[in-house]
Structure 1
Amino acid sequence: MTNQGRVLYSVGYFGYLKEGQMQELFEESLTDLEDELAVSKAIKGEVRHYMEGLEEKFDQNLGRHFSYRHAREMDRLVAFVYKAVIRRYFKEYLPPLNHVPLVFIALGSYGREQLSVHSDIDLMIVYKEVGGYNLLEMIEKMIHIGWDCGLKISHRVHEVGELLEVSRSDITIKTSFLEARFICGSKILYMETEARIEQIRKDNKEGFLREKYLEYLERHKKFEASMEPNIKEGRGGIRDANMLFWVLYVLYNVKNPKEMEGQLYDEERYRDFRSSLEFLFRLRDAMHLVNQKKNDTLNLELLPFVAKKLGMESQDSSKDQFGLAKKTLLCMHEIEHFCAYVLRQIYRRHGLLPAYSWRERKEARQEGGLFLFKSSSSERLYARGALKRFRIGEFLGKLLELETIPEMSEGVVERLHRSKLTLSSKKERERFKELLLKPQSHRFFRALYEAGKLGEVLPPLAKIRHLPQFDGYHAYPVDLHTLKALEILEALERDSHPFLSELYGSLDQESLLLLKLLVLFHDAGKGRSRDHHLVGETLFRSWSKRFLLSEESRERGGLLVRFHTLMSSVAQKQDIYSEEVLLEFVSRLKEPENLDLLLLLTYADVSAVSPGRFNKFIEKLLLELYKNAKATFEKRELLGDATRKLKRLDLLERSAEFLALPSPLRQKIRQIASPLFFIKLTPAQIAELSKKALGVEDFCFEVENQDFLSVSILRRQELNLGYLLGKLSIFNVASMEIFKMFDGIKYFHIEFLEKAEEDEMERLREIISESFDMTRHPKAPKPTILKKDIIFEPNHSESYAEIRLNTKNQKGILAHVASVFDAFGIDIASAKIMTIKERTRDWFLIEKNEAFFRHQGELVKAIAINDKK
């Protein structure tokens, strides 16, 4: 190859050879390039060097107009291959290209000049049978050279006279013909081809457009809105814009939708649509470059790399990913609803959709250019004059006159989009409140969502518009999840679930209104830096005043927004038969009525996460938890401590000492069951004690002897409490606290009325160490305990039994009781020691373990001692 041939790899349209330079090179280097292998090698080098520079070219202006420029570069390379083949066949007798009856035409995204990096180069090669030309062999040679050079050519070959017949064989083929664009070859033959395409455009317009509309609707059903959208085929994807292009071309012979400004849509609406579409083109090219292959689904794992490729790079990569996902969803939403409105308008104008009779339209006519069409299965509201605007108060008033809220057409959505919908007056808020109580009110909110006005009517929801959720759990962005939850809730009006529908139907008006507001607000706190439960609670308490709810309902609503995931979490992650779990759960809810609302809210919330998420297993867990919680509410005597525990736990969680602890340790502390642990100890004591407990292998202890003797023990290993108390029976016990903590660790704190002598301290520490030997037996004075002084409550709760002593204060009482428990293998969960007027009032909470059930009949008899009766 000559030096001139090597220049081929250095300059051009994106930094390589220009068309004129290539032509000159071919003419001057014919001898060197005559060999087919040399031609292929030269073109392959051009393609390779072009492809290697794509990322750099994309990065130069962040992909703006990249698809157009890429399509044009492919035109140059295709023309290059064609000229090489022509020169090979004709050599120095090369005729003018217009005399060779071949034309190369771009189809599909290539034809629309929207070609992405790894998309196929869709070619149609049209020829005309003329004697003396070996056209099919030339075409085959060109395709093979193109493939060999690395061009992803997808082709179809047709004789010009068969184009109309071929287009009638398949709607996809006809669609591709509508996107035809000249690349190279005979311009005379292309003019004839254009005439055929014009025939195709006019051929069976109605049948073609009806079939494309059904295809469009089926595609929307297949590709639901998703956290990982398909930006080509999904709702609001590039294919929706293609659909608009096909319809405008077939009906109006318009290839640029901008030409229809002022007729079908205004300049501002079209500008928003076009801007959104251009972003999707850039996004698709970035996805192809990042993935290094054709990929039209914005997978979550691609987000950080695609965001960087598009220049959305900042200090916070997670914020960049949220920004990219949100913008993608926003752009697809804009495209979907612009196309839906324009297509519906066109199809109705041209009679391509089922039409209503004059009588039906007369019966459906409402005030303000509205029409309400009813069928046996649905009601749908239409609007004439979509460029007009609604007054929100009047529109709400109109809807309130209807028995149920109807579905709303694209025309109604377009009117809402153009209207100011702020609920500024008391009357408007009253009407909004009434509308919430209407059956199928979710249809109104869905129309607001489609119009982009949900955050205008309810400002707290503005922050969640198209907000992605990267939790691996939710399939939809936050706003769409919220609307689906409301729709699922209102389906209970139609007896969609035997038990839940009955519960839903039993709600009074105030509770029903509260429940629907809860569904709308439950995720309103997302998208902030703080916990969305707490933010949502604040938003609800603030904004619910506007809807004239009672103070009681606002308090209940705030509480339920704060704990809206509690029921699902407890049902799926905790023991729903554990009394401690149930007590804590119902203590947070405070009232049984709140449990009813939370069950319905949880059902709607979980069901709206993704299709099939609310299954029989989850349903069974939730209903079982509901039943158990209802029964727990009746145990009022047990709820006092549990409620106090929660108050103290809330105080603890706001303390600096608690917040300074590692997150895993904070979670362990939350799971401590004993209410007394939180009631008795301060946040500082709890934090310090928990840090010590975390490092305990077998046991550790501390002895203090300032004003009085006190012993603190943390143990994982079994403690011989009877022995310990027996050896220390020379001191009078003032109080004893026993708490089960976490990881099998138990905490003992014993305070005595006296102070020990300094020379006794070493022996005290020895006694404590010896107390972990379970073979030792205490030697202590035997007190007198009468049976009548013992109160035994084996059914104190499902998990615990209670023993109370009210007897004369004597040394050795605690040692004796602890020895009985040790002998029987019974575990003390908690204890309180109190002495008043020479009488001891001791209280023990003991676990109902296997040993308890084996010995419960012997307990009172074993504890009673020196009872002469």
Structure 2
Amino acid sequence: MVKDILNPSGGDAIKALAAGRASLIPDLSALPLSTTQRFERAFSRLLDTYFQTRVVETGADRLKLALVAVGGYGRGEMCVGSDIDIIILCRRSIPPQAIDVAQPLFLPLWDAGYTLGHGFRTIADCVKLGAKDNKVLCSLLDARFVTGDASIFEELQERMREKVLARREKAFLQWLDEEHAQRLATHGDGAMLLEPNLKEGVGGLRDYHRLLWLARLRGGTGDVCGVMRLAGFSDEDYALLERNVDFLHSVRNRLHVLSRRKSDQLHVDLQPEIATRMGYADRDGMLAVELFLSDLHRCMGDIKALAAAFRSVAGDADEAVLGCAPAAGSVHVQGNVVHVCPPQALFEQPHLALEALTLAANVQCEGIPVLAWETRQVLARLVTEAPARLAELSGIRNVLVTILTSGRAFDILEQMVGVGMLSVLLPDFGRVRDRVQFDGFHTYPVGQHTLFALRYLESLPVDGHPKFTPLWNGLRDTTTLMLGALFHDLGKGGADASSHSAKGAEMARSQLTAWGMPEAVVDEVVFLVEHHLLLARTAHRRDLSDESVVAHCAGIIGTQERLDLLYLLTYGDSRATGPKAWSQWSASLLEELYGKVANMLRDNTLATPLSARTINDTRRRVEALLGQGGAPVSGDEGMALLEMLPTRYALVVDPEDILRHMALARELAREITDAKRRLSEERAARGIVLLDPRPLEGRQSDVWELVVVARDQHGLFATVAGVLALHNLRVYAADAFVWRDGTVVDIFHVSAPPDPLYAREFWVKVRGSIQYALTGKLSLEYRIDQKRSTFPVHTGHNDVAVNIDNGLSDFHTVIEIAAPDRPALLYDVARTLQAMRLDILFAKIATLGSRTNDSFSVRDTYGQKLTDAEQVSEVRNALMHALRQ
């Protein structure tokens, strides 16, 4: 019988564990990095000591059982927030005293706040589960004896080798490949992402664990170095693996300390502090965090490549994947692996590197052509030790063009980036490769973003996109487009981020000219780089019904061929930026702009005649609809309202929607007439609003159109904007129209209601809030300030800018603001503009991660642009004041 549990707290053992762990934590802040102790190994030893001590204290050492560490604890990788996974292993049956063993062992750990995973298993249980469940098999491959009866653990190991490992290899390898694909789909490629998952992302610790499992499956002992040596890898390869794994563990431990929980996603807000704790500092124009991420991505890239090479060996032990043909100075393909033979020949004949890349681009094989591991490593040494020998090679242009137009540009360039070769051949790429934009908008650093832009473009023939694939297929040559994508962001970096397009265009011209590219190609690539943001910025920030906006774009672009190229580049750039830059909503805006510019280029005429024709066509269509039975308003009433419509309204709104708005205007008039029976004429119209919300057809379902109809009254637009913010609705765009009879029709594009099942009730609440705010029954400013207090305060990147431009539109003054996004920002801007007696006719809200870039088309109280310099200055100062609050 186990000793009576008089001290369930664990006494000295749990105190020693707590003190030992606490003594290790400060080492995670020690600098430089080389002085930090391997926390995970030391912590694992502390846990071993705890269990060994408690087993003796409780008398469990006299029972026939063994404590076996599994999972991360079994591997000796106990990070700060890791779970403690342990099995109480019995030979043939679980004794009745097992619960008496478990309580004094585990209760002190739970009380101390550790997360514990434990179980009771017999040897037969483990063998049975390991034979049918691959996850359990992985856990048992990590198993390590801690204390108790060692013979029980040894018997388990022997039974596993005989009954499971020898029989499960093929199925286990297939499962590992499926699990790898699932991790890639779920967590992405850690070697490329701005916020990598250190454990589950491809290139993360899980890839290292796969190496361990494969080694133990093959070698039984878990001697990774020995198994790698038998597979043809060198001791230097194993040392590289160990250094990279140590680096990842160092980052992961610091992440756990800073986040105060088990966390594997390296979020951007913690990266600067982790970089500091890892010993990084600003250097050579690069931020410390960018230097840190550069090393992290290289680390994860090496682990990814090594794991893939080792998996190839494990998958076919009879084929020497790493072996080379005997002919010296040759390049050949074996399977889908490209070899330089011998790899060391690269130092004497660096042109073999270009030959290997050209072969990878042209070879017909299954899967992705990859550089052999030994070739990759020697090439990485060449890049480090003698980069000039590569940079001086002739034929670089031809090789890059071949790669860019091969349909495999992403895969081949990714390998070139991994060894640093692309940075040598294209120094401007190397300068920005690891640049980071901490805006919550970009998913990748600049270098990886560029590769993904290429990937999205070259995937169009396979993806079959209904809009862009036909344009791609219609290109005579994709060289110009792919070069434009390669160079489009190389101008980033420096204090003035807004000028990166112009800087990138200069870099493209210089580099392409040095490569001897034809002048016509150079001019087209430079155009694409300089204007690669033109369509996106115009679509998201401008009133596309304004003919001068479309004419401005058409004047810059000039030809249909350039428009197609720019449209495709915008697609690749937006997709590669991330999900916040590309959605059905943004795609529909770009499609609308593309169609209007294409029409203008095709007709070779200014928009004014086309606009007049559109307005006349709209009027005739409305008249025809009024003459049909079942129209929402009568013919005479509709014809009278038709005369009230402003020109821009008739140009923008579809005839069917005009009839719908007429019905709302008629209902509004009835409610006002009824109110006049109780109130004065001035008070009767105050606060009466009608809403007509509906999901936008043909666009993503989470974007709704909200039509607000009311009489013209001061502060209406700002009030609606504030109420929408109060109800957690994001505004994407807004149109404001005032009919000649004083009816206001505001059209908002907003996010969907929180619960679509109760959308009707939700919009009733919104309408009530607007009416209460307009009639003084709801203090909108007070409620919004309350709401703001629940959001985190921005501590960085708080720069704001206001630009007031009279040249962007023939009819309005365009006010552009750039500021950190925050609740009710649109309300603050609208309230400021209306306090300055400016009418908001149109608004585009473009939120890019943590920042917003909004555009407002305004006129003064006389219906004119803002031409008075003092007034312009006053408006700018007032907006700056509002944005900085």
Range into which the TM-score falls when normalised by the shorter chain: 0.5 to 0.7
1:470 paired to 2:438 = yes
SS at match of 1:370: strand
1:497 shift after superposition: 3.7
SS of 1:475 mapped into structure 2 = coil
Give 1:170's aligned residue. 133
Listed as ranges, the matches of 1:222-371 within 5 Å are 222-225=186-189, 226-260=193-227, 262-263=229-230, 264-312=232-280, 319-349=287-317, 368=330, 370-371=332-333
- Residue 628 to residue 134, structure 1, CA distance change in 2 (3 Å): closer
**C-alpha distance in 2, partners of 1:208/1:249?**
12
Match of residue 90, structure 2, among 119, 127, 141: 127
8 A contact 1:525–1:534 mirrored in 2? yes
Alpha-carbon distance change, 501 to 154 in structure 1, aligned in 2, over 3 angstroms: closer
Distance in structure 2 (CA, Å) of the matches to 1:549 and 1:57 = 54
The residue aligned with 1:179 is 142
- In 2, Cα distance between equivalents of 1:229 and 1:148: 33
CA 1:384–1:249 in 2, change beyond 3 Å: closer, same or farther?
A: farther
CA distance in 2, matches of 1:238, 1:666: 46
Q: Determine which of 36, 44, 67 is the counterpart of 1:104.
A: 67
| Whole-angstrom distance in 1 between the partners of 2:284 and 2:376 | 36
| Kept in 2: contact 1:669–1:741 (CA 8 A) | no
Per the alignment, residue 585 of structure 1 pairs with 553
2:185 corresponds to? 221
The runs of 5 or more residues in structure 1 that have no matched partner are: 1-32, 90-96, 354-361, 374-379, 640-661, 679-693, 700-714, 720-737, 748-869
Residue number in structure 1 paired with 2:57: 84
Assess if the C-alpha contact under 8 Å between 1:571 and 1:622 holds in 2. yes
What amino acid does structure 2 have at the position aligned with 1:545?
T
- The equivalences for 1:394-413 within 5 A come to 394-395=355-356, 398=359, 407-412=367-372
Could you report, residue by residue, the CA deviation over 1:245-266 in whole angstroms, capped at 9, with x for unpaired residues? 1101111234242334654322
Question: Relative to structure 1, is the Cα distance of residues 742 and 627 closer, same or farther in structure 2, using a 3 angstrom cutoff?
Answer: farther
What is residue 208 of structure 1 aligned with on the other side? 172
TM-aligned CA deviation for residue 540 of structure 1: 0.6
Q: Pairwise mapping of residues 277-676 of structure 1 onto structure 2 (< 5 A)?
A: 277-312=245-280, 319-349=287-317, 368=330, 370-371=332-333, 383=339, 387=343, 391-395=352-356, 398=359, 407-412=367-372, 415-416=375-376, 418-419=378-379, 422=390, 424-493=392-461, 496-509=464-477, 512-531=478-497, 532-589=500-557, 593-610=561-578, 614-632=582-600, 667-669=803-805, 673=809
Q: Tell whether the 8 Å contact from 1:485 to 1:607 is kept in structure 2 after alignment.
A: yes
Post-superposition CA distance 1:24-51 (Å, at most 9, x none)? xxxxxxxxx9871376354444444445
* Counterpart-to-counterpart distance in 1, 2:515 and 2:475: 18
Shift in Å at residue 590 of structure 1?
5.3
Gap change, CA 1:103 and 1:523, over 3 Å in 2: same
1:426-485 per-residue CA deviation (whole Å, 9 max, x = no partner) reads 445335435544455444334434555332343322234354443222223333322222
Secondary structure of 1:158's match? strand
Distance 1:742 1:620 in 2: 37
Between the aligned partners of 1:548 and 1:371, the Cα distance in structure 2 is 30
Is the contact made by 2:93 and 2:122 (CA closer than 8 Å) also made in structure 1? no
CA deviations on 1:142-164 (whole Å, 9 max, x unpaired) are 33344345443321222345543
Q: For 1:169 and 1:256, locate their aligned partners in 2 and report how far apart those are by CA, in whole Å.
A: 25
Where 1:204 maps in the other structure, the secondary structure is helix
- Conserved? CA contact 1:406–1:440, under 8 Å: no
Q: Root-mean-square deviation (CA), in Å? A: 4.4
What corresponds to 1:653 in structure 2? none
**Structure 1 residues 673 and 116, CA gap change in structure 2 (3 angstroms):** same
In the TM superposition, what is the alpha-carbon distance from 1:578 to its structure 2 partner?
Answer: 1.4
1:386 to 1:145, Cα distance in 2 relative to 1, 3 A: farther
Deviations 1:488-545 (CA, angstroms, capped at 9, x unpaired):
2223445824453443344344xx3221100111112234444332331222111111
Q: Answer whether contact 1:178 1:201 (CA < 8 A) is retained.
A: no
SS of the residue corresponding to residue 618 of structure 1 reads helix
Which residue of 2 is the match for residue 156 of structure 1? 119
Q: Helix, strand or coil: the match of 2:491?
A: coil
- Whether contact under 8 Å (2:432, 2:490) holds in the other structure is yes
Instruction: Give the Å deviation of 1:336.
Output: 0.9
- How far apart are the structure 2 equivalents of 1:167 and 1:100? 25
- Whether the aligned pair in 2 keeps the contact of 1:493 and 1:505 (CA below 8 Å) is yes
Contact 1:716 1:745 in 2 (8 A): no
Could you tell me how far apart the structure 2 residues matched to 1:480 and 1:504 are?
Answer: 22
Compare 381-390 and 227-236 and name the one that shifted more.
381-390
Q: Does the 8 A contact of 2:8 with 2:103 survive in 1?
A: no
Aligned-pair CA distance for 1:342: 1.5
CA gap 1:397/1:46 in 2 versus in 1, 3 angstroms: closer
Matched length: 616
Q: In structure 1, the residue corresponding to 2:804 is in which secondary structure?
A: helix
Matched, 1:67 2:27: no
Could you state the TM-score of these two structures normalised by the residue count of structure 2? 0.61
Deviation at 1:188, TM superposition (A): 4.3
Return closer, same or farther for 1:293/1:484 CA change in 2, 3 Å cut-off.
Answer: same
| Partner SS for 2:10 | helix
What is the identity, as a one-letter code, of the residue corresponding to 1:178? L
CA–CA distance in structure 2, aligned partners of residues 50 and 479 of structure 1: 43
Task: Tell me by how many angstroms 1:605 deviates.
Answer: 1.2
What SS does the aligned partner of 2:450 have? helix
- The 1:496–1:381 alpha-carbon spacing in structure 2 relative to 1, beyond 3 Å, is farther
Change (3 A) 1:423 1:51: closer
Q: Secondary structure at the match of 2:803?
A: helix
| RCO higher in structure (CA 8 A, sep ≥6) | 2
**Equivalence for 1:144:** 107
Amino acid paired to 2:503:
V
C-alpha distance in structure 2 between counterparts of 1:132 and 1:254, whole Å: 30
TM-score, with length taken from structure 1: 0.62
Name the residue aligned to 2:629: none
> Partners of 2:861 and 2:266 in 1: how far apart?
54
AA aligned opposite 2:492: K
Q: Render the CA deviation track for 1:273-294: whole Å, top value 9, x for unaligned.
A: 2222111101111111111111
Alpha-carbon spacing, 1:261–1:70, altered in 2? closer, same or farther (3 Å): same
Percent identical among aligned pairs is: 22
Deviation of 1:168 after TM superposition, in Å, equals 2.0
Change beyond 3 A, Cα 1:440–1:472: same
Separation (CA, whole Å) in 2 of partners of 1:291 and 1:400: 44
Distance 1:48-1:313 versus aligned 2 partners, 3 A rule: farther
Structure 1 position 314, deviation (Å): 6.2
Which residue of structure 1 aligns with residue 699 of structure 2? Answer: none
Q: Secondary structure at the match of 1:37?
A: coil
Give the secondary structure class of the aligned counterpart of 2:178.
Answer: helix
Report SS of the residue matched to 2:233.
coil
CA contact (8 A) 2:207 2:307 kept: yes
For the residue of structure 2 that corresponds to 1:408, the secondary structure is: coil
Q: 1:494 to 1:384 in 2, by over 3 A?
A: same
In structure 1, the residue corresponding to 2:287 is in which secondary structure?
Answer: helix
Instruction: Map Cα deviations across residues 743-769 of structure 1 (whole Å, 9 max, x no partner).
Output: 99589xxxxxxxxxxxxxxxxxxxxxx
SS for the counterpart of 1:577 is coil
- Shift, 1:562, TM fit: 2.1
2:25 pairs with 42, 52, 55, which one? 55
Equivalent residue number for residue 117 of structure 1? 80
Structure (1 or 2) with the larger CA radius of gyration: 1
